[in-house]
């Protein structure tokens, strides 16, 4: 019997921390690192093997160069790897750009909200998902790139996506540690990607329950949001190892939190078993209520995404965008993804050549998850 396998697409900070965490898993796993940069893939795979050796863990780690722009090559690679789960940690926008290469583009995103990057976050994972449908339909697609908003769009396009990583899972992992919980089972948290930052209105704050009772964790959330983003990113990646292992049958049932299970908007408490992710909502909260609550909180990112994949830009986000793109749409469907992505890339190229405008006020922190090709 072959051992469970997980492929990780990407070599950025989140992907690297995830590979290291999986490499230390106590049960056999076959890990694969996919990247357009063969050297980076080889380096990360070697680092994964080092972590496995240092801890005496059994996972193996192999590097592969991938060309997602060439469907034939991508199909052949995925058919060769035939992973139980493919985790996509690569997109066309990195939140790190805000600090590494500030420009009029990053200033626009700071004003309009992270939701504006949705088309750039979705392209790579969509290509991977389409390839899986063609050649390895049993491979479970897991998205680490803005999953709270991207996964509903993928689902609307007929690309099955099992769940996301990070975001609500990062918040829950840190909260469980702060509360001295043994595992996350006593904790149930409803939180969107936007809740990585403090909402302007207390009414928009994440909702939490402990042992089935509603509780206010605002103080703890405020404290963890002040932590270094790179450290929180690493926690989120490390916390992803347990649900991924459970998902591919290499670990016990996991009671935790994940964003966008089965293409739902936002983040939820879940139970993860072999090839299955189920919601574990608190008493008195229905599935439809939880979905509606998360859909509404998406507006805090500047773009709310309905469960049918319709994206609606909030008025402030649209106003900021139309200063640079006068006829930009205020609402679009999943089928508009390709041309929107192309137009956003052209806009980005133009704005990257312009300096950051004089600040008009405080801007939000960058997103937790950094992704790289």
**How many angstroms from the chain centroid is the CA of residue 215?**
26
Per-block mean pLDDT, blocks of 10 residues, the chain (373 long): 92 97 97 98 98 94 96 96 98 90 96 96 97 97 98 96 97 95 96 96 96 94 89 93 98 98 97 98 97 96 90 96 97 95 97 85 49 40
For the domain spanning 5-164, the CATH number is: 3.40.50.720
Say how far apart CA 193 and CA 170 lie, in whole Å.
Answer: 10
Non-local CB neighbours of 42 within 8 Å, separated by 6+ positions? 63
Q: What is the pLDDT of residue 360?
A: 56
Residue range 319-361, pLDDT digits in tens = 999 999 999 999 999 999 999 999 999 999 999 999 998 765 5
Say how far apart CA 195 and CA 206 lie, in whole Å.
Answer: 6
- Distance (Å) of CA 312 to CA 145, 316, 330: 19, 12, 6
Q: Where are the domains of the chain?
A: 5-164, 168-300
Choose among 83, 71, 97: nearest CA to 33.
83
């Amino acid at each position: 019997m072959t051992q469970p396998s997980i492929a990780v697409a990407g070599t950025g900070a989140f992907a690297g921390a995830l590979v290291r965490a999986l490499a230390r898993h106590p049960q056999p796993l076959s890990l694969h690192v996919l990247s357009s940069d063969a050297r980076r893939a080889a380096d990360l795979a070697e680092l994964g093997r080092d972590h496995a050796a240092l801890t005496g863990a059994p996972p193996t780690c192999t590097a592969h160069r991938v060309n997602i722009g060439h469907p034939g090559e991508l199909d052949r690679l995925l058919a060769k790897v035939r992973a139980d789960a493919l985790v996509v940690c690569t997109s066309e926008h990195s939140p790190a750009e805000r600090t590494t290469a500030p420009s009029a583009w990053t200033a626009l995103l700071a004003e309009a909200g992270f939701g504006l990057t949705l088309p750039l976050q979705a392209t790579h994972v969509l290509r991977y998902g389409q390839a899986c449908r063609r050649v390895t339909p049993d491979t479970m697609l897991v998205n680490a790139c803005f999953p709270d908003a991207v996964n509903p769009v993928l689902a609307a396009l007929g690309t099955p996506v099992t769940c996301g990583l990070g975001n609500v899972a990062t918040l829950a992992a840190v909260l469980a540690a702060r509360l001295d919980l043994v595992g996350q089972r006593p904790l149930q948290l409803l939180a969107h990607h936007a809740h990585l930052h403090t909402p302007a209105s207390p009414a928009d704050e994440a909702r939490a329950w402990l042992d089935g009772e509603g509780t206010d964790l605002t103080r703890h959330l405020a404290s963890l949001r002040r932590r270094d983003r790179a450290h929180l990113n690493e926690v989120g990646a490390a916390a992803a190892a347990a649900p991924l292992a459970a998902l591919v049958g290499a670990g016990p049932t996991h009671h935790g939190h994940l964003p966008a299970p089965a293409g739902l908007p936002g983040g939820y408490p879940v139970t993860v078993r072999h090839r299955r992710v189920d919601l574990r909502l608190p008493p008195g909260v229905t599935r439809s209520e939880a979905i509606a609550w998360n859909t509404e909180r998406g507006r805090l990112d500047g773009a709310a995404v309905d469960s049918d994949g319709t994206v609606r830009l909030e008025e402030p986000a649209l106003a900021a965008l139309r200063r640079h793109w006068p006829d930009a749409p205020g609402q679009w469907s999943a089928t508009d993804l390709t041309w929107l992505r192309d137009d956003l890339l052209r806009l980005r190229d133009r704005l990257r050549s312009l300096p950051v405008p004089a600040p008009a006020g405080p801007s939000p922190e960058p997103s937790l998850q950094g992704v790289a090709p």
